[in-house]
Amino acid sequence: MKDRVLSGMRPTGKLHIGHFVGVLPNWKMLQDRYKCFFEIADWHALTDAYDRTHEMRDNVFNVVLDWLATGIDPEKSTFFVQSHVLQHAELHVLFSMLVSLSRLLRVPTFKEKIAELRVKELSHKAKKVLEKSADAAVSAFFEIVEQYQQGNLDDKSYRAVLKAKLKEAFMESLKDAFVGGEEEELPYGHLVNYGLLGYPVLQAADILIYRANLVPIGADQLPHLELTREIARRFNSLYGQVFPEVEPLLTEFPKVPGTDGRKMSKSYGNTIFISDPPDVIEQKIRHAYTDPAKIRKGDPGHPEGCPIFAYHKIFNTDEVPQIEADCKAGKLGCVDCKLRIIKKMNEVLEPVREKRRYFEERPHLVKEILAEGEKRAREEAEKTMQLVREAMQLWT
Ligand code: SF4
């Protein structure tokens, strides 16, 4: 029997060139070697987009278009929307009995999320303190000026009174922002929903419902997979062997910077989407960050920190040594360098955009492809659930 692979993406909208050179070519390679299940994880997306569900259908559609356009083949792999295969939820509930709360609280991504939310909340509170203190300071200032003008305060005392008033106002604002409310057993627990805590259990269900034994991941995701392995072992030891030992397919993805030099991310507004038309790509590249030390063509540049150079390494590999040398020697200007990458990027992306347009204009085809994938996924998932219910001696 062929090894089984499970991988997925959260539908957060159109995919960018980081996906184009990272996860998608990897999936193309995997679909030729293994029995692959590719999931659009819409329930996972809800953990922090539960108040933006109106975007979900478009986002799912865009992800499928990008998959199809870049060669993820529905004949070779099974792809589906997570929420259309309800067996994921059933297995998630059963698995949630096998994991302790303390184990979930130790999951590194959960701890990172809490830290991120703490920073957000603290900066929000600090802003409130500053705003309130500023208002109070202005009122105190005018009150003291009035008292001074009325002769109630002399030259020496007004400074001390003003200082005391400002301190009092600041302390009041601090107290309002940081003191009060009920003591929580889990600090900052009010900032996260139950779904976020249970996220890795749902992930374990996503993988094990297809009895997948391989999961392509980066090294930083290993702790998540470890939890899946623990759940499978615990289930097998309690109820009998149903699930395989899941192994990571460790994958190194090339790092693609955004147009501002930071990590490419929609939240930074620095992405180049696979589906961006040529004029949009041109605008994005023309406004992109380059080496700030290179102001004129003749200035020697530092290509290693420049996102345009990183794009040449991906889309224009043949010219990379020459561009690197010319940039460093001050023989190449940033405008010319950008024009070259615009041309190359558009050459590479045009056939992808064309294929995407084909499916975009035929949404019924996309629906049929998804429906067929979901049918196959449901059949596999139901087979596993029958084994699970039987092993657990549940009412059937
Ligand atoms: S010449 Fe090219 S690689 Fe060098 S700094 Fe300018 S844009 Fe970047």
Q: How many CB atoms lie within 10 A of CB 97?
A: 11
Element (H, E) at 336: helix 334-360
Atom of ligand 1 nearest to the CA of 294: 5
Q: Cα of 289 to ligand 1 centre, how many Å?
A: 9
Of the two residues 379 and 295, the one the predictor is more confident about is 379
Q: Which atom number of ligand 1 is nearest to the Cα of residue 337?
A: 2
DSSP class of 156: T
pLDDT tens digit sequence for 113-122: 888 877 877 7
Q: Which residue has the tokens 């204009």?
A: 361
Please tell me the distance between residue 267's alpha carbon and the centre of ligand 1 in angstroms.
25
Q: Does 308 have pLDDT greater than 70?
A: yes
User: Is the Cβ–Cβ distance between 67 and 226 less than 8 Å?
Assistant: no
List ligand 1's pocket residues with C-beta within 6 A. 290-291, 294, 301, 303, 306, 308-309, 327, 332, 334, 337-338
Count the alpha carbons within 13 Å of 204 in the hemisphere toward its beta carbon.
31
- Cα–Cα dist 358/381, whole Å: 31
- Counting every residue written for the chain, the total comes to 396
* Residue 125: predicted pLDDT: 78
Greater pLDDT, 253 or 378:
378
Distance 261 CA to ligand 1 centre (A): 12
Alpha-carbon span 235 to 240, nearest angstrom = 7
Nearest by Cα to 27 from 220, 345, 251: 251
107 torsion bin: left (phi>0), alpha (psi -120 to 50), beta (else)? beta
Predicted confidence at residue 79, as pLDDT, reads 93
pLDDT of residue 10: 95
Q: Which amino acid is at 117?
A: L
At 183, the pLDDT band (50, 70, 90 cuts) reads low
Q: What is the pLDDT of residues 126-143, one digit of tens each?
A: 888 788 888 888 888 888
Angstrom distance (rounded) from CA 97 to CA 392: 12
Q: 186-207: per-residue pLDDT in tens?
A: 666 777 888 989 999 999 999 9
Q: What is the pLDDT of residues 261-288, one digit of tens each?
A: 999 998 899 999 999 999 999 999 999 9
247: CB partners within 8 A, 6+ apart: 213, 214, 215
Which amino acid, one-letter code, is at 371?
Answer: A
Distance separating alpha carbons of residues 351 and 346, to the nearest angstrom: 9
